[in-house]
Structure 1
């Protein structure tokens, strides 16, 4: 685990009744320290046990999603960068389903905020976004909190099988039809002809 996470864990352990609140807030702060979500969820399981760890991780991840929803509109540069990455990885016209986003959240090296952008594209209203955030964060929080101790004992072969299974599940949960309007298609063609690089 990273040094920052170990320091925060020690601090939270000694803080008594404030520990759950600090843990929930740590989910929001951890992205600025470049600590993966999975590590924080595993730490929640160690600190609070499976049930409370999952509950507190869900609280932190939902708070993080709400902060993202309200802040991303005020940061057009960040929004544009995330969309550019989304286009590069998944294609311009791909809209991921909630199931696909939930599967990708289980893969530790996927960018958490990139998946939030994909969810925002699918569900632009706050209520729908938060429902989607709940549905996509629950497997993440549960899996890494409950099974976190066992994950560290997986062999490389077992880890590869799990990642390949998640990739297959991601493919099976995709949207089968993509609808592109004439205006969208031809505006993209004009952009490409102006910028051939």
Structure 2
């Protein structure tokens, strides 16, 4: 029994280190679980606060980019799907600049690894890839982590109102064939 108490005490005292490490690892493996990058950045702001959340998100996003780089080098078949995606959205052969990719990272609907692939194609080596990736993830981490911290500061009434408005928005944005009239809904 004494050993269990010591173990629980140890976990309580070291959770300060375990939570950030788990958060960074989650960034690294999030694509396996189909978790959006933005959701993790927002969660970082909610859990750790603005400054620690930003730092941990930048580290985690860089880890994710490094993992992508390694996989792209070792298994080029992974990039074939990204080449097809790139062909659908990019009509000319001009390479996007790092600044343009930085702005595109702020748009939540653009695939994170597609943008990493564009950086991968435009850089010569690992060092320049990491440098460009670092530059592109900073604004993304700052914006979405700050949003996460802001959500925490909402009053309970504001949180319920926001949640209700999202439900209504989702209800109204369904396909026309799936919509149910108000009369049918109330029956």
User: Does the Cα contact within 8 Å between 2:45 and 2:148 map onto a contact in 1?
Assistant: yes
Q: How does 1:169-188 map to 2 (within 5 A)?
A: none
Alignment partner of 1:115 is 2:115: yes
Partner residue in 2 for 1:105: 105
Alignment partner of 1:67 is 2:67: yes
Q: SS of the residue aligned with 1:108?
A: coil
User: Cα deviations across residues 7-49 of structure 1 (Å, max 9, x unaligned)?
Assistant: xxxxxxx944300000000001111111110110000011110
Partner residue in 2 for 1:3: none
Partner residue in 1 for 2:93: 93
Q: Where in structure 1 do 4 or more consecutive aligned residues deviate above 3 Å?
A: 148-153
Q: Give the count of matched residue pairs.
A: 142
The 1-side partners of 2:71 and 2:30 are apart by 16
The 2-side partners of 1:83 and 1:30 are apart by 21
User: Does the Cα contact within 8 Å between 1:102 and 1:135 map onto a contact in 2?
Assistant: yes
Question: TM (normalized to structure 1)?
Answer: 0.67
User: Does the Cα contact within 8 Å between 1:50 and 1:146 map onto a contact in 2?
Assistant: yes
User: Cα deviations across residues 42-100 of structure 1 (Å, max 9, x unaligned)?
Assistant: 00011110000000000101111111111112222211111121122113513111011
Partner residue in 2 for 1:171: none
The 1-side partners of 2:108 and 2:45 are apart by 17
User: Does the Cα contact within 8 Å between 1:73 and 1:79 map onto a contact in 2?
Assistant: no
Query: Which protein shows a greater Rg?
Result: 2
Question: TM (normalized to structure 2)?
Answer: 0.70
User: Does the Cα contact within 8 Å between 2:102 and 2:136 map onto a contact in 1?
Assistant: yes
- Please tell me the root mean square deviation across aligned C-alpha atoms, in Å: 2.1
User: Does the Cα contact within 8 Å between 2:44 and 2:57 map onto a contact in 1?
Assistant: yes
Partner residue in 1 for 2:51: 51
Q: How does 1:15-164 map to 2 (within 5 A)?
A: 15-91=15-91, 93-148=93-148, 150=150
Q: Which ranges in structure 2 are unaligned for 5 or more consecutive residues?
A: 1-13, 152-158, 167-187
Higher relative contact order (CA 8 A, sep 6+): 2
